[in-house]
C-alpha cells in the first residue's frame, strides 16, 4: 500500500456518468468546505461536458476545484476533476494522469481509480457511485471494500439514471444507500464515529493483546453472526475481524459500547 503524506486524510472518489453532473451539484452544495477531506470526481461524459465540469462545480462550493492536467499532491478541502480523454490514479499521495484503458471494449475510469484509491488510502478511502448508465465502478468498489474503505451509492429512485447505482447495490458490498444530498452529512458522521472507536484499522503489534472484555465481545459477535448467517468467522485473522467490526460500528453510527445485536442487524 502506498504511503500518503497525510495518513489520516480521507479521500472521497465520486463516480458517475449520465445525470452525474446534477448529482455532483447536489453533493457539493451540501458538503461543508472545511470537512478535512479531499474529493476526486470521475465522470465519463462527452468531452464538451468534461471540459467545463470544474467550472460548474466551482460555483457550488468554496473549496478550490481544479481539473487535473498534471500530477498534483492531494490536499484536504480540495476537489479534483478528471480531464477529458484521460484516466486518474492515486499514487503515493498524488493524483496522476494515465492513458485511457478499456476492459472488454468498455471505458472503466471509475473502476481503475477506485482500485488505486483503495490501495493508497485503505480504510480512509471512500467510494461514491452516482447517477449513470452501465456498471463502471462495481469492480473497483470491491477493492475499496476489501481494504476497509466506505462505499456509498445514490438511491436509485433519486438518480436521473439508475443503472450505475443499482449495479453497485447488487454487489451487496455497498454500506450506505441515500439520496445524494444526504450523503455529505452521513459521510461526516461515519468518520466522526470512527475517530471515537478503539478497534484498530491496521494490524496491531504481535505483543499487543486483547483485554478479556474485548475477547468476550468479539466472541459473542461472531456467535451471533454464525447463528444469523450460518458463516463461521472465528478462524479469520483477528486484526481483520476487529477492523470489520469497527467499520460496521461506523456505518451504523454506533458508539463503542453499542449492543451486540445492533452490530449484526441488517440495514
Question: What predicted TM-score, i.e. pTM, was given to this entire model?
Answer: 0.78
Task: Say if residue 67 is in the same domain as residue 149.
Answer: yes
Q: Is residue 238 scored above 90 in pLDDT?
A: no
Looking at 194, 221, 237, which one is the last position of a domain? 194
Which grid coordinates are listed for 87?
A: 484516466
| pLDDT reading at 30 higher than 50 | yes
- Provide the mean pLDDT of the chain: 84
Shared domain for 180 and 232, answered yes or no, is no
Total domains, the chain: 2
Most confident of 105-109, 160-164, 260-264: 160-164
Cell numbers given for 102: 478499456
Mean pLDDT in residue range 193-213: 55
Q: What are phi and psi of 78, to 5 degrees?
A: -130, 150
82 and 46, same structural domain? yes
Confirm whether 179 is domain-assigned.
yes
68 and 147 housed in the same domain: yes
Q: Kindly state the percentage of the chain with pLDDT values over 70.
A: 79
Domain edge (last residue) among 152, 168, 194: 194
pLDDT per residue over 116-138, tens digit each?
999 999 989 999 999 999 999 99
Tell me: do 184 and 255 sit in the same domain. no
Q: Are residues 45 and 150 in the same domain?
A: yes
Question: Which residue range is the domain that position 84 belongs to?
Answer: 11-194
**At how many degrees (to 10) do helices 238-251 and 183-196 cross?**
140
Same domain, 38 and 53: yes
The CATH number given to whatever domain includes residue 90 is 3.40.50.180
237: buried, middle or exposed (CB in 10 Å: 19+, 13-18, 0-12)? exposed
Name the grid cell of 198. Answer: 478503539
- Asked, for residue 37, whether it belongs to a domain, the answer is yes
Q: Is residue 250 in some structural domain?
A: yes
**pLDDT(267) > 50:** no
Q: Which helix (H) or strand (E) holds 118?
A: helix 109-121
Name the grid cell of 170. 447488487
pLDDT of residue 71: 96
Amino acid at each position: 500500500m502506498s504511503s500518503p503524506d497525510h495518513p489520516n486524510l480521507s479521500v472521497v472518489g465520486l463516480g458517475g456518468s449520465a445525470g452525474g453532473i446534477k448529482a455532483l451539484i447536489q453533493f457539493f452544495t451540501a458538503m461543508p468546505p472545511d470537512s478535512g477531506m479531499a474529493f476526486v470526481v470521475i465522470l465519463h461524459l462527452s468531452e464538451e461536458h468534461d471540459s467545463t465540469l470544474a467550472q460548474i462545480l466551482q460555483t457550488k462550493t468554496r473549496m478550490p476545484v481544479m481539473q487535473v492536467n498534471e500530477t498534483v499532491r492531494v490536499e484536504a478541502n480540495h476537489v479534483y476533476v478528471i480531464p477529458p480523454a484521460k484516466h486518474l490514479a492515486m499514487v503515493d499521495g498524488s493524483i496522476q494522469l494515465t492513458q485511457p484503458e478499456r476492459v472488454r471494449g468498455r471505458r472503466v475510469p471509475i473502476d481503475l481509480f477506485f482500485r488505486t484509491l483503495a490501495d493508497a488510502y485503505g480504510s480512509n478511502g471512500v467510494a461514491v457511485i452516482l447517477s449513470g448508465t452501465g456498471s463502471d465502478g462495481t469492480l473497483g468498489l470491491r477493492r475499496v471494500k476489501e481494504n476497509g474503505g466506505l462505499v456509498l451509492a445514490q438511491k436509485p429512485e433519486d438518480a436521473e439514471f439508475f443503472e450505475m447505482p443499482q449495479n453497485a447495490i447488487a454487489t451487496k458490498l455497498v454500506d450506505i444507500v441515500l439520496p445524494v444530498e444526504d450523503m455529505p452529512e452521513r459521510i461526516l458522521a461515519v468518520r466522526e464515529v470512527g475517530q471515537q472507536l478503539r478497534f484498530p484499522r491496521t494490524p496491531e503489534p504481535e505483543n499487543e493483546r486483547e483485554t478479556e472484555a474485548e475477547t468476550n465481545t468479539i466472541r459473542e459477535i461472531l456467535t451471533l453472526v454464525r447463528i444469523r448467517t450460518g458463516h463461521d468467522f472465528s478462524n479469520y485473522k483477528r486484526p481483520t475481524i476487529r477492523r470489520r467490526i469497527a467499520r460496521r460500528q461506523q456505518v451504523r453510527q454506533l458508539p463503542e459500547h453499542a449492543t451486540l445485536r445492533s452490530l449484526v442487524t441488517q440495514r
